[in-house]
Amino acid sequence: MAILVLFAWACSVGTVMAATQTLATGWRFRLLPGSAAVQAHPEAAAWRTARVPGSVQTDLLAAGAIGGPFDRDNEARLRWIGLADWQYQLPLTVDEATLRRDHVDLVFDGLDTFADVSLNGRELLAADNMFRRWRVPVKDVLHAGGNTLLVTLHSPITRLQPWLLRQPHALPGEFDSAFGDEPKGRQTSNYVRKANYQYGWDWGPRYVTEGIWQPVHLESWDDLRLADFHIAQQHVDADVAQLLAQFDIRADHAGKARLQLTWSAPNGIPHSTTLEKSLEAGDNHLDLPVRIEHPQRWWPAGYGAPNLYHFHADVVVDGKIVASSERDTGLRSVELRRQRDRWGRSFAFVVNGVPIFAKGANLIPFDSFPERVTEARMQQILQSARDANMNMLRVWGGGYYQSDAFYAMADRLGLMIWQDFMFGGAVPPYDDAFRENTRIEATEQVMRLRDHPSIVLWCGNNEVQTGWESWPDRKAFAQAIGPAERARVERGMRTLFGETLRGVVQRYAPDVPYWASSPSTDFDGPANVPDDGDMHVWDVWAGSAPIEDYLKTTPRFQPEYGLQSLPALATIQTFAAPADLSPDSPVMRAHQKFDGGNGNQRLLLYIRKYYGEPKDFASFIYLSQVMQAEGIELAADHLRSARPQSMGSLYWQLNDVWPGASWSSIDYFGRWKALQFHARRFYAPLRVAPIRRDGRTEVFLVSDRTTPLDAQLRTRVMDMDGRLLHEHVDTVHVPVLASSRAAELTDAALLQGTDPQRSFAVFELVGQGRLLSRHLLYFEPALRLQLPDPGLHAELVDSGHGIVLKVRAERLAREVWIDFGTLDAQVSDNAFDLLPGEHVELQVTGTAGIASLRDALHVRSLFGATMRESAPTTPETARP
């Protein structure tokens, strides 16, 4: 039973302020009585303990009523949960003191999704949007003592499907259900404001959740409520920040109020200001001007400190503080620069006047079940992005808006956030009610998040426009419905994304750019073109094009492109039994969502083309990660080398919602794949990038530095046993914020008659007395290289300051991979090449002891990973 206690905060003169009680304990849940699911699942008909925030699926799991949702092929067995209706109940005791307050509001921060809420038998609200907050006055419904709060949740599929089946057509959606619970081409997900990915995606399972997925509060207050406090940035430059502290106040009576604002700069120096204002009965919007000389501005990672100011606001009436709020925010200017130039029209983020090449990846939800995501898990993923030299993440539109804690972490790390509104690619309805529901959602979310300096773009949707214009199912649908209906659909999309959402951003966060769709030209022409706007590039992988086709297109900004890989064997073993460890076993197919489970054959297509036939399942895993890492590296180097024609590289994708095959560089358990280690190198502030095509190599020096550099470019050609064939050193100047071409060399000039299958080139940028960047270039695909046994040696030692792994190669070792199985152990570098005779010392962190690490250590390279090597053992494996 939840007991409401009046929490009062007294100011210096004894004023009682607003009280908030979180309703988190005492909840129960069950199947809705009388529903069809009760007969099929009577074990779920009785009341069980529930967790709020949570979902039915995780509550059933906590009760031991179902098996792990990610285990083997349990997904198919558990789909019934999202097709049933459920109830949540909370016994609630309220005291007399609470009821003496002028106002008592029941607040749901998020309901998933169709939810009928009643209190003491009286209907309060019918929610229909997962992304909205719901506030209801309940003082007249509550009584002292015991009360009953009831939330009835309806399956979005079961609720909408009968209606949709009666319609003459269904709007094109995303991925049809693999389980037959919706007819193909008749997806209900388009018609409800709910996280699209939970209906199944090509990297995640179909778990249609229901529940009270965000906190619930009972708020009591008198006379006045501070509904919102915001620091609006009117103008920010190096000399001055002109701000408005904005107060939205709900007042019962007209009268005078004093607005008090105090703030502290990043250096800790405090400041304050006050303003007297008149309040009217009802809603009041009040502005308090603030001017900060020589502001300590917020900078993206790599360009300066992500400085944050702390602001505290008080509303004072009759000498008493009646409401307070506070915000941390960074002061910065953001521009999406769109200028005509010799390549078309630019697409570049400019922060504080500095053009930023965006380096990063796409972020999908952290879990199929949002309530399981901890702040520690978010921090690990965001810190991993920062550690890999990323400065931008795109929060993709098929998930949900992240928590306040997420954006606060991004603020502190200097990670720019491209924020999609939650539209994942399906064609939305065009009716006024749907659009108004979305407008309210957008208003609430923009107002909630607008003080985060990390958000540098609001984007209307993911792939809605380009899908409508170019995807075969959309084109066929457009022809089938006729010109009148087609015009209504198109007008609805343009109104929602070109006007409604744009208007919300311009009104509530005018300092942040808006972009109608990704990819697009912001409704200024066709979507997904290379010379204007942003472009998603999926010919490679989705179209089975060769990886080198990444070099054929140079978009102005490329926020999606990707190659799949498998996660580590230790991750696979969390859901698969030994008998499942083959590419096309039923369980591996169940955890491979691309092309209806056929994605592992696409993986093998690329592996075989560039590396050969994997020797065994462990080699298949390893080669999938090597192929992904080397392929994305080629694309990223191409984009960075093309600066300023191209000004952004966000590969798909950073993280996973579950353990399985995907495009991620960090798996579900936070383990870095080879791609994440490569990203740390190809996104480094200084990068030497040799781009080879058609027997000719252009060598680019890429710099994100704001100061120039004089250095040396050293070019060596070696054979794989370590013999130096020739060497050349050039003095080079590396300009700021630029890519410069330092050399152009033919294969003949580099090889000088040596065997391309037994030789490689080493390009190194050397300056300030150290190696700044290195890039090895091969003249043939790995499939045709005559890779020698590298003679790898590995030794674990306790240095007195931690555990160190020493790795040495006698001959060329390509894509060295270090693995400790299931042990908690991380190495400071991985997925790297070792030159003949070279050695490295790597820090090993984690909880495992050195003896356990020695037993588990496995070191491998490309040699021996495929069937073509004739060695009877695995000489690439080194043990101490």
- Predicted confidence (pLDDT) at residue 8 exceeds the cutoff of 50: no
Residues 657 and 524 in one domain: yes
The pair of three-digit structure tokens given for residue 471, joined into one six-digit string = 């995807």
- When pLDDT is averaged across residues 67-72 and rounded to a whole number, the result is 96
For residue 68, the tally of other CB atoms under 10 A from its CB is: 11
User: In 779-874, which ranges are continuous DSSP H helix?
Assistant: 850-856
pTM for the whole thing?
0.95
Q: Which is it for the CA torsion 523, 529, 535, 540, positive or negative?
A: positive
Q: Looking at the structure, do residues 678 and 692 belong to the same domain, yes or no?
A: no
Confidence tier at 16 by pLDDT (50, 70, 90): low
Q: Compute the average pLDDT of residues 692-698.
A: 96
- Amino acid 642 reads A
Per residue in 631-640, is it b (16+ CB within 10 Å) or e — as a string? bbbbbbbbbb
Pair of tokens at residue 818: 């270090």
Q: Which two tokens stand for residue 216?
A: 């619930």
463 neighbors 536 (Cβ within 8 angstroms)? yes
Contact assessment for residue 401 and residue 366, using Cβ atoms and an 8 Å cutoff? no
Segment 162-190 shows an average pLDDT of: 95
Mean pLDDT value of segment 672-679: 98
Task: Report how far residue 417's alpha carbon sits from residue 391's, in angstroms, rounded to the nearest whole number.
Answer: 9
Same domain membership, residue 386 and residue 479: yes
Confidence class of residue 800 from pLDDT cuts 50, 70 and 90?
A: confident
Diameter of the chain by CA atoms?
93
The phi, psi pair for 322, rounded to 5°, reads -110, -15
* 740 lies in some domain: yes
Looking at residue 189, which CATH number applies to its domain? 2.60.120.260
- Which pLDDT band, with edges at 50, 70 and 90, does 868 fall under? confident
* DSSP β-ladder status, 270-279 and 340-341: unpaired
Asked if residue 874 is part of any domain, the answer here is no
- Calculated CA dihedral for residues 211, 215, 216, 218, nearest 10 degrees: 180
What one-letter code names the amino acid at 659? P
The answer to the question of residue 391 being in a domain is yes
Assess whether 211 and 241 both reside in one domain: no
Per-residue confidence (pLDDT) for residue 4, from 0 to 100? 39
Tell me what the mean pLDDT of segment 297-310 comes to.
98
Domain shared by 51 and 173, yes or no: yes
pLDDT of 289 over the 70 cut = yes
Beta bridge pairs of residue 278: 256
- Give the CATH number, domain containing residue 355: 3.20.20.80
Instruction: Clarify whether residues 458 and 584 are in a common domain.
Output: yes
The secondary structure of 343-382 as a DSSP string is TEE--EEEETTEEE-EEEEEE--S-SSGGG--HHHHHHHH
**Three-state DSSP class for residue 551:** helix
3-state helix, strand, coil in the chain (%, to 5): 25, 35, 40
Q: Is the same domain home to 140 and 250?
A: no
Q: What is the pLDDT of residues 418-454, one digit of tens each?
A: 999 999 999 999 999 999 999 999 999 999 999 999 9
Q: What is the pLDDT of residues 515-533, one digit of tens each?
A: 999 999 999 999 999 999 9
- Is residue 316, in this structure, part of any structural domain at all? yes
- 434 and 579 belong to one structural domain: yes
842 CB contacts (<8 Å, ≥6 apart)?
Answer: 804, 805, 806, 807, 818, 827, 828, 829
C-alpha count within 13 angstroms, C-beta hemisphere, residue 275: 15
Residue 666 has pLDDT above 70, yes or no: yes
Q: Based on the fold, state whether residues 236 and 316 are members of the same structural domain.
A: yes
The pLDDT of residue 7 is above 70: no
> Hey, CA dihedral for 753, 757, 759, 760, is it positive or negative?
positive
Kind plus residue range of the DSSP H or E element containing 468: helix 464-470
pLDDT tens, residue by residue, 191-234: 999 999 999 999 999 999 999 999 999 999 999 999 999 999 99
Is residue 222 within 8 Å of residue 84, measured between CB atoms? no
Q: How far is 356 from 685, CA to CA, in rounded Å?
A: 12
- End-to-end, the C-alpha distance of the chain in Å comes to 59
Cα–Cα distance measured from residue 469 to residue 590, given in angstroms and rounded to the nearest whole number: 32
Residue 869 is predicted with a pLDDT of: 54
Write phi, then psi, for 567 (nearest 5 degrees): -75, 175
Domain boundary among 217, 233, 255: 217
Cα distance between residue 603 and residue 631, in whole Å: 12
pLDDT reported for residue 15? 43
pLDDT above 90 covers a percentage of the chain that reads 95
Q: How many residues comprise the chain?
A: 880
Last residue of a domain, one of 638, 654, 682: 682
The verdict on residue 875 lying in a domain is: no
Assess if residue 155 is contained within a domain: yes
Query: How many other CB atoms are found less than 10 A from the CB of residue 140?
Result: 9
How many C-beta atoms lie closer than 10 Å to residue 594's C-beta?
20
Q: What is the CATH number of the domain that holds 843?
A: 2.60.40.10
The closest alpha carbon to 323, from 255, 231, 215, 222, belongs to: 222
Mean pLDDT in residue range 659-669:
98
Whether residue 346 is found in the same domain as residue 321: no
Listed residues 180, 196, 217: the one ending a domain = 217
The pair of three-digit structure tokens given for residue 872, joined into one six-digit string? 């009877």
Contact 422, 401 (CB under 8 A): yes
Rounded Cα distance, 654 and 637, in Å: 18
Alpha-helical regions (H) of 521-667: 569-572, 586-590, 599-610, 617-641
Q: What is the pLDDT of residue 17?
A: 83
Phi and psi torsions of 99, nearest 5°:
-70, -15
Rounded Cα distance between 97 and 220, Å, is 10
Cα dihedral 778, 782, 783, 788 sign = positive
Residue 869 lies in a domain: no
Among 653, 684, 679, CA closest to 567: 653
Gap between the Cα atoms of 10 and 207, Å rounded:
46
Q: Distance of alpha carbon 807 from its chain centroid, rounded?
A: 34
Burial class (CB in 10 A: 0-12, 13-18, 19+), 792: buried
Cα-Cα-Cα-Cα torsion 716, 717, 719, 722, nearest 10 degrees, comes to: -10
Contacts from 74-79 at CB under 8 Å and sequence distance 24+? Answer: 75/205, 75/206, 75/207, 75/590, 76/179, 76/590, 78/207, 79/179, 79/181, 79/206, 79/207, 79/208
Hey, CA dihedral for 700, 705, 708, 710, is it positive or negative?
negative
> What is the residue range of 696's domain?
686-766
Residue 798: phi and psi, rounded to 5, are -95, 110
The two structure tokens encoding residue 800 = 């007195």
Whether residue 39 is found in the same domain as residue 68:
yes
145-173 residue pLDDT tens: 999 999 999 999 999 999 999 999 999 99
Same domain, 48 and 197: yes
Tens-place pLDDT, residues 477-511: 999 999 999 999 999 999 999 999 999 999 999 99
Tell me the one-letter amino acid at 551.
L
* Tokens matching residue 802: 């931690």
Report how many domains make up the chain.
Answer: 5
The answer as to whether 776 is a domain residue is: no
What pLDDT does 5 receive?
36
Alpha carbon distance 450, 229 (integer Å): 11
